């Protein structure tokens, strides 16, 4: 009686799910970081390529072929190109203070999406290039490994015939991006070392710039909420020359309502009461602009000594 051939390759689904996740994450990016493509276009393209590879492999990666190789590499290349372009745009936007980088939550979310997509992209490259790819490893490739996993050095603690799968490469990629250095897995080929260096550099540059910019925005916003301010003339709010040195807030009450609240009456130390003062009675100095605050029909706020 004929029996079904045992499938020896790893499952295609973990890598396929990672590819689809990058497409979903890209939809959440601000339009300025999506390289002008329509929101779900990349996701639809990746979805089609993933379905094609899954049907061709029937869920397991244990067959070689030119078209299988092309369908595996193509989505990884698309993800890398798209995310690389978004990374460049993000760095440019931070350095030149583009409007979309002036909202802390938007900036942190976009930076997180780009960082995570970068981790997945490098994990896919590690997984596909090591020893000729998943199919070659399943069929017993004699090529020298590019990465030395701890399971290779401790075969007594793993199952017989253990081979690294996509999850192992994903774990390695996350460690590389977070630690900026080798951890439990060592790169032993020059190409693998260069790829690790590229991932580390991208991760550290994106992380430092995004976090530094976001912290700066949040500090300014926190300082703004502690102010006891005074509302100035509407004409000052419309002065373009003051755009970068003052803060416009439209949610405060009009001047005549705020006037009696600015400086309440107080004793002068000799038993006499000083009348309440307003901002018109004492000089002030402008505070640095708080990025992200809107400028409706509001008024300028200054901080007083």
Alpha helices in the chain, H assignment, sequence order: 13-27, 41-57, 66-95, 104-129, 134-138, 150-153, 166-179, 190-225, 234-237, 255-258
Check pLDDT > 60 for residue 300: no
Q: Where are the domains of the chain?
A: 10-223, 228-303
Round to whole Å and give the CA distance between 70 and 79: 14
Q: Is the pLDDT of residue 95 over 50?
A: yes
Asked if 163 and 10 count as a contact pair (C-beta separation under 8 A), the reply is: yes
Q: Higher confidence at residue 4 or residue 191?
A: 191
Percent of the chain residues topping a pLDDT of 90: 42
Retrieve residue 172's tokens.
């390695």
Least confident of 139-148, 171-180, 258-267: 258-267
pLDDT in tens, 183-235: 889 999 999 999 999 999 999 999 999 988 888 887 776 655 554 344 334 44
Residue 263 pLDDT more than 70?
no
* pLDDT higher than threshold 70 for residue 276: no
pLDDT band at 113 (very low <50, low <70, confident <90, very high): very high
Mean pLDDT of the chain: 76
Output the pTM of the full model: 0.72
CA angle 73, 76, 79 (to 5 degrees): 150
- Mean pLDDT along residues 148-157: 90
Place of tokens 């439990």: 184
Q: What percent of the chain has pLDDT over 70?
A: 69
Instruction: Return the pLDDT at 296.
Output: 38
Residue 295 has pLDDT above 60, yes or no: no
pLDDT for residue 127 is more than 70:
yes
Average pLDDT over residues 101-123: 93
pLDDT per residue as tens digits for the range 14-40: 999 999 999 999 999 988 898 766 668
**Model pLDDT, residue 86:** 94
Determine the Cα–Cα distance for residues 108 and 99; give it in Å rounded to an integer: 14
Beta bridge pairs of residue 60: 11
Range in 58-72, 131-145, 243-257 with the lowest mean pLDDT: 243-257
Alpha carbon distance 131, 151 (integer Å): 16
| CB distance 202 to 118 below 8 Å | yes
């Amino acid at each position: 009686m004929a029996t079904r051939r045992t499938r020896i390759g790893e499952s295609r689904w973990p890598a396929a799910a990672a590819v689809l996740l990058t497409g979903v994450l890209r939809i959440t990016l601000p339009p300025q970081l999506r390289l002008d493509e329509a929101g779900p276009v990349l996701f639809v393209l990746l979805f089609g390529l993933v379905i094609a590879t899954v049907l061709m492999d029937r869920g397991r990666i244990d067959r070689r072929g030119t078209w299988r190789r092309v369908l595996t590499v193509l989505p990884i290349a698309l993800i890398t190109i798209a995310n690389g372009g978004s990374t460049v745009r993000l760095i440019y936007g931070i350095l030149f203070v583009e409007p979309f980088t002036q909202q802390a939550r938007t900036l942190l979310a976009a930076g997180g999406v780009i960082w995570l997509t970068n981790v997945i992209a490098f994990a896919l490259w590690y997984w596909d290039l090591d020893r000729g790819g998943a199919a070659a490893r399943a069929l017993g490739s004699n090529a020298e490994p590019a990465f030395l996993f701890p399971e290779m050095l401790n075969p007594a603690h793993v199952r017989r015939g253990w081979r690294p799968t996509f999850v192992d490469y994903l774990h390695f990629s996350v460690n590389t991006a977070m630690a900026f250095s080798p951890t439990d897995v060592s790169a032993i080929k020059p190409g693998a070392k260069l790829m690790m260096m590229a991932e580390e550099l991208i991760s550290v540059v994106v992380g430092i710039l995004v976090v530094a910019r976001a912290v700066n925005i949040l500090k300014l916003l926190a300082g703004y909420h502690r102010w006891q301010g005074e509302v100035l003339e509407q004409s000052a709010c419309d002065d373009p020359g003051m755009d970068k040195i003052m803060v416009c807030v439209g949610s405060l009450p009009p001047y005549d309502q705020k006037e009696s609240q600015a400086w309440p009456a107080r004793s002068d130390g000799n038993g006499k009461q000083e009348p309440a003062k307003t901002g018109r009675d004492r000089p002030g100095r402008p505070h640095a602009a708080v990025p992200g605050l809107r400028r409706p029909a509001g008024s300028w706020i200054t901080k007083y000594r």
